[in-house]
Structure 1
């Protein structure tokens, strides 16, 4: 795998092909931004098995990028009136599917909520508030307008011919078991570039950067 002389990354075209087949992709942002990798999937492909995998290997804080038009249709306002997040991530109020879930937190329940978001006929009364899935309002224009994982998920959905609703979560280093103790040992931070590449190779996932996505889209 080599893109622009950078060994380890896949081409955006190859990643889109895998994404179109329902696979996860790993997307890294700039070393000058968060310098982190997100696991990304199309919401319509987000099965309980995929949700369980994402919860196991990420922060477990599952977010669902959506477009402004869907946020308006579902009446999902911003979580706060004054956003002080350094990257201006546009969190809306949280949701669960109104039907077909129990508490809303399980892999089964969260996968169903995300798939409901990707239903082209989704309406406000199909969701209850608050919940356990965090929609994120993407910027119009995708990664060329804002170089974030939120926009990367929407761009991947569009390039792969999917409904423009994604599911993302940050890859984390959660340490190792400590024999006989209810605790972990080791690093507990976010996975950075090399760890993300190792993770992607371990599970046969495509991995790209947001910068390469922006170049690919500009050339399309």
Structure 2
């Protein structure tokens, strides 16, 4: 059996001015590697919080998140170590050029081939000619391509993406969505994305909709042709 993330009766809330705001209650969800999963819903329903819990970056108020690898239960740290992340705000280091932003996760692991692998991924996202450019010299779409390459460069089991197309225009958003799903499919990476976009949802193997503290599986049309890695 492949790597699996399971949520069992997970509930979460936060407090503002002594008032408890409930996000979701007793959610049950199974996320498997080698498949893509989209979580859709309006703002404020807790999509980002759910993503953080799935990624082992935040603990739920109640319930349990379990990460298993070939039927062996692993720690949240083990999950984080085999995961990549893509955010709406890119989160690139401004002092590093594109190549070194991508290489950074590998350098932190002591990989002697970090630059070589980063260059490969820079080519995969079509930006080898931008290798020496810093984030402020790149467009929003280019920055997100660098962020995608950084997420995949460590060959993770899972990549988690939080509204990765939210700050992009319609055409660029489509290109970025195509790129992410193509990278995930080619590398057999479990891909989990939270989004407002039905178009993004239709690209996933499995789609879920969050509303009123619950999550429900919805049918996907798969009527949008995915692009290939450029």
TM-score (normalizing by structure 1): 0.28
Bigger proportion of residues as strand: 2
TM-score (normalizing by structure 2): 0.27
Higher relative contact order (CA 8 A, sep 6+): 1
